[in-house]
Amino acid sequence: MSSPASWEPFRSSDRAGAPNRSAGPPQDFSRRLVIPPFTWLARTHAAAAAGDAAVAISLAGSLFFDISPQAARGKVALYLLLTMAPFAVVAPLLGPALDRMQGGRRLMVVISCAGRAIVTAFLVMYISSLWLFPLAFLFLVLAKAYAISKSALVPTVVADDGELVEANSKLGLLAGIAGFVVVLPAVLLKLIDVRITLCFAVLLYIVATGLATRLRREVVAATPAGPREKEELRSGGVVLAASGMAVVRAIVGFLTFQLAFLLRSQKASVVWFGLVLLFSAIGTMAGNALGPILRRTQHEERMLAIAFVLITFGGLLAAFGGGQVSAALLAGLVGVAASFARLAFDAIVQRDAPDANRGRAFAQFETKFQIAWVAAAFVPVVIPIPRTVGFLIVSVLAAFALGSYIVGWKRIRAGQPLPPTVTARMRAEVRRRRRAGAGWDDLPPPDPSARR
């Protein structure tokens, strides 16, 4: 028979959080077993990621890939443009209210999971009609809203800020594993009927919704951001890292639709679409697994630089390597780089903004990153870009970001401020002239030489 000490991990805790070591073996084991908050978030994220993977497999042979590229581009561009509205307009107004609401971000996670279940159920009925496009738009908006809310919740479910990088790494790795687990049954179900695969995705989102209701109802940020928090989040290191992360997310958005239209214009089989998704998932998993290990020997700024190097190399390889295999390899390298960049960014915010509210900060940054993703994705949707040119654009963007990042990094290490952007210069000029009583018509035009 087990000794009382063997029950110690499951004993109740007092209000201060210390274990109640005087209690004996629990009378009701189910009540004594307390599941950590991070576990509930991880389970929710895994179920939602599995649902996303099932939907992606279902749409691989949908109307989007059956009609001509010219007919699809206009519709996809319209919905991508509309997708930016919730993040560019609603998020700055709704975000602070959700942060200060008891369980506000938790509510948004529940709504996004339940909403995707409903949208996917409608996809079952309208997968072969033009209703596919507005439904796909709603699905994309809900998915992006979930990503923002999830980022805000992560700091509230870890013991301290030192666990943020590891927590995000685990969530990314778990999402990749969940996607792999779902691939085989989703493909087998699709061979019978694509609608069955979508029904499978609906069940996964229902599970995710149920798990999301078990998340703790916590306030992400009880008070508005104070001067110290704003100052730390505008420090050189954080601004530079956020700019680099935005470029990475923009590259991911650009490459996603560049590959989608490229493979479809080449009349590639569904197998190639699946291969690209597989390499991207493997890259993301590898990056999340190796990121914490790399951070032990490399500082965060170097991890961001490594991410840009990987994308630059991958873009050149895909541009001149030829073939669809090189495109899949590029998707994998970008997945690794995006994981490295995200973990490095989280660590930099944790290090350089110790007094900032992590949940509010990550939600704000994630909103900007999503806008960068959609804006960059808009380009290959509107403009047909040849294969080699598209991959060279990816490589050039990463190389430019690498050079800019290194220059900015050196300026920060030398104690010099980062050069302000044209937008920042204009805002400063507006404030100066307002204080001086000048009108809007007196503002000078932007100086082209001020661009960095």
| pLDDT on residue 69 | 58
| pLDDT on residue 268 | 61
| pLDDT on residue 392 | 93
Residue ranges and CATH numbers for the domains of the chain are 33-220 (1.20.1250), 228-413 (1.20.1250.20)
| pLDDT on residue 13 | 40
Instruction: Please state the separation of Cα 252 from the chain's center in Å.
Output: 10
> Is residue 270 classed exposed, middle or buried when 0-12, 13-18 and 19+ CB atoms within 10 A define those classes?
middle
| pLDDT on residue 284 | 84
| pLDDT on residue 19 | 45
Residue 234 near residue 420 (C-beta atoms within 8 A): no
Residue listed under structure tokens 């800020």: 161
The amino acid occupying position 245 is M
pLDDT in tens, the chain (452 residues): 444 443 333 333 443 444 444 445 555 545 556 788 889 999 999 999 999 988 888 877 665 555 555 556 666 676 666 666 666 665 666 667 777 777 778 888 999 999 999 999 999 888 777 787 788 878 888 888 888 888 888 888 887 767 777 888 888 888 888 888 888 888 888 888 888 989 999 999 999 999 999 988 877 766 777 788 778 888 888 889 999 999 999 999 899 888 888 877 766 666 667 677 778 888 888 888 887 787 777 788 888 999 999 999 999 988 887 777 888 888 889 999 998 888 888 888 878 887 777 778 887 888 888 888 888 988 888 888 888 899 999 999 999 999 998 988 888 877 767 766 544 554 555 556 666 654 444 444 544 444 33
CA quadruple 364, 288, 317, 180: dihedral sign: negative
| pLDDT on residue 398 | 94
Alpha helix locations (H) across 193-299? 194-212, 227-233, 236-265, 270-297
- Which long-range contacts does 418-425 make (Cβ < 8 Å, 24+ apart)? 418/236, 418/239, 418/240, 419/452, 421/451, 421/452, 422/446, 422/447, 422/450, 422/451, 425/450
Residue 287 near residue 248 (C-beta atoms within 8 A): no
Predicted TM-score of the model (pTM): 0.74
The amino acid occupying position 140 is L
